[in-house]
A and B are shown apart, each in its own frame.
Chain A
């Protein structure tokens, strides 16, 4: 029986996708059979995780389940199940594309998590990008496949990295090299694009769209984390690098800024998830035993919270809110969506932004504390910590209207509410929940042990009792307001736009002259604005022309073709080295 678990966990999701497509003509059988097969595959993944936790290592062909790999798969699949609940709102064609893409992607993530062969890794690497592109194309237009160019570039980078490893090791078996070499750096760069950590590229751009490609970003994030595990932990042995840490922190800051300037809810969510994606990469960059532990603590909440935030706060292709009928009179279902959506989105955002009480806080705080400790000898680490904190803080503030406007469909809202609550519990009791898990993984990875005399940052930053003691008076005050008013009134059926209209400022007559300093500054600023507008207009014109010519898609197809060619090259290389 246990021999079947690993193939079931790896191939089950793809089978669910096939069932979903095959029963497309019958709506309810499609839902029931698709959900049944998907849940069975997910149960198999949990069973594999349990076996790995107990110290057994289920194996099948070139797949071998480790506790770390099984954890990545389970967290990714949970996120996929969450985002799949939003597929129905995409229309018949979109839902069909998303269901199939999610199934195929989950299988590819399973192979990325379990495979001990670089050839198998290479074979399944482009699958998620292709699935995301096909899902996007099942939408209304080419706008829904934004970011595919970056994803194709990420595939090429990862495959180039794998090719370097194969030629360096002279073998196709995954093996630790003990340092972060060029191959590792290329795989990490591709992983960052796939995890959505690189602003304006790959998963980030796809996540900001409202089409059927957006839900597949949950699988892309899982694949990104699986690749980061491969390059940053398994192969490089948690070596760490100041350059990687600095780039991760800069990307986190850019994520916060991008979230702040975005005028759309989808863009703000993508920025928020992008800034959060930088935390695991920062931990990898810090390296060492504490860095590895921070990585282990930060990736499961990242995957889960990004899925929950998507399920609760993604605006979707069209407005999901019905038009309001008077103040708060939009019906029971509408009120229920509001009641569920706001706390669900809040829980997810708090976890993503690593705010206290959220699931992401313990890992991020440990990484930032480690950067703070290292800053005593290298002051650049203080900048690294400040940049990431600022990025996460800006993203969190920018997400406030997204939280207030969250009105998800009830099943998706309920699922993300439960996930948000679980994340808050994870954030308040990280040691009780995870110590056995991370000690087993660290032992398997042969991470050096932490001695109390080493001066490592203490963990966690805030214990569950501290969070409870802060929450009790705060919740008490809120409850008191409700009791004094003898209840609560319905909140607004919808909230104002993300970005408020600009205040109309009367230009004084004196400002037009250049006789005062203010006048001169305003004149220069006016000229700069005119130039900026002209440049932006020209750039938009060029982008429009490129879009009409499908230039991005053509280049992406070329790059993906290159990636497939690299895969074939790696397979041939593997055959030469005795893979078959």
Chain B
């Protein structure tokens, strides 16, 4: 059953990409909201028709990234042990695989962007871990299974008092999603009429979607609990809460990632990272105080 993690993460990752395109469209962009799916389909058909292949390096990176995302997603769905000692390294594996896929020869289109995406990922990592830690601190547990169980009994975390703690949890979840968006590997540059390696573009998109989807699924467990999908332990109500939260988290992740592109160039990425870390620390403090 844990093999379901990969398709689930990819699907939610597509939702995150669509959310990003929607944000861009609402703020004056002209591209259609379904552009990520359309570009992916076009890349697939070009891959088949023109044999526009991916490189071995990209395929190895893609397999690694999807394995990591699949493990994290399976743990979020309850098919695997939900220990953070498994979940966080799995998410890190997804990101590492994606950035290996994104490595390009110097001078190739987008190679500088790939390097900057790695720097962004490194800057976002502390905030991401701090935010996940705040989520764990909220439930006083080091296991997603225990967190799910607590919310099955008490209700979803975002609606559970005291208000200070709920606010801390919501801030932590948002910070985890923002930082999770920063950690994502980049897509290949050049769409529409511009020429790009179709196989490479497919590989890069899959890595990015998988990492985004797995992140959203894990954050959804922290804020809405959910139910193990094992046949003997399914709780439909909790499951619906979790699924809705996962889709919402994917939307927030994609929207935040797109919103970052509006930041003026002169705003330092390090400054933004420090701000996000401060927010995560504030969330952890709120949770601890409550």
Interface residues of A (CB under 8 A from B): 256, 260, 338-339, 342-343, 346, 349-350, 353-357, 361, 364-366, 368-369, 372-373, 375-376, 379, 382-383, 385-386, 389-390, 392-394, 396-401, 403-405, 457-458, 461-462, 466-467, 469-475, 477-479, 481-482, 484-497, 499-501, 503, 505-508, 511, 522, 525
Contact = CB atoms under 8 A, between A and B. Distances in A.
B84 A389 contact: yes
Which 8 pairs of residues, A with B, have the shortest CB-CB distance? A500-B115, A372-B142, A474-B66, A492-B105, A404-B103, A485-B53, A368-B85, A491-B55
B247 interface: no
Interface in B105-136: 105-106, 108, 111-112, 114-116, 118-119, 121-122, 125-126, 129-130, 133, 136
Contacts of A500: 111-112, 114-116, 118-119
Contact of B85 (A339, A461, A485): A461
Contacts of B74: 466, 469-470
A282 to B, nearest CB: 12
A484 B2 contact: no
B96 A397 contact: yes
Listed residue (A383, A393, A497) with the most chain B CB atoms within 10 angstroms of its CB:
A393
Given A372-B142, A399-B96, A494-B105, A365 B265 contact: no
B130 A365 contact: no
A506 B122 contact: no
A361 B92 CA distance: 13
The size class of the interface chain B forms with chain A is: 35 or more
B54 interface: yes
Given A342-B60, A493-B105, A496-B114, A390 B125 contact: yes
A345 to B, nearest CB: 9
Q: Summarize A's interface: helix, strand, loop or mixed.
A: helix
A525 B92 CA distance: 32
B67 interface: yes
A382 B84 CA distance: 11
Contact of B70 (A401, A470, A488, A490): A470
Q: Summarize B's interface: helix, strand, loop or mixed.
A: helix
A489 B54 contact: yes
Interface stretch (B19-27, B44-52, B149-157, B162-170): B44-52
B257 interface: no
Nearest to A383: B133
Nearest to B122: A260
Given A397-B183, A470-B2, 11 more contacts: A355-B92, A368-B85, A397-B95, A397-B99, A400-B96, A474-B6, A474-B62, A477-B63, A487-B51, A489-B53, A495-B103
Nearest to A366: B85
Listed residue (B48, B51, B54, B136) with the most chain A CB atoms within 10 angstroms of its CB:
B54
B278 to A, nearest CB: 15
Contacts of A389: 84-85, 88-89, 129
Contacts of B198: 485
9 contacts: A342-B57, A356-B67, A396-B92, A404-B103, A461-B81, A461-B83, A471-B70, A490-B55, A496-B105
Contacts of B89: 353-356, 361, 364-365, 389, 392-393
B133 A372 contact: no
Given A473-B3, A477-B206, A492 B47 contact: no
B16 interface: no
Interface string B210-250: 00000000000000000000000000000000000000000
A481 B202 contact: yes
A249 B198 CA distance: 43
Listed residue (A355, A365, A490, A503) with the most chain B CB atoms within 10 angstroms of its CB:
A355
A382 B133 contact: yes
Contact of B92 (A353, A375, A478, A496): A353
Contacts of A474: 6, 62-67, 70
Contact of B96 (A354, A396, A486, A497): A396
Given A477-B206, A478-B59, A482-B59, A508 B67 contact: no
Nearest to B108: A492
Contacts of A357: 67, 93
Interface string B26-60: 00000000000000000010011001111111111
Contact of A478 (B63, B118, B288): B63
B2 A469 contact: yes
B142 A373 contact: yes
B85 A401 contact: no
A461 B86 contact: yes
Nearest to A477: B66
A343 B51 contact: no
Contacts of B136: 382
B122 to A, nearest CB: 4
B174 to A, nearest CB: 19
Contact of B199 (A356, A382, A481, A499): A481
B181 interface: no
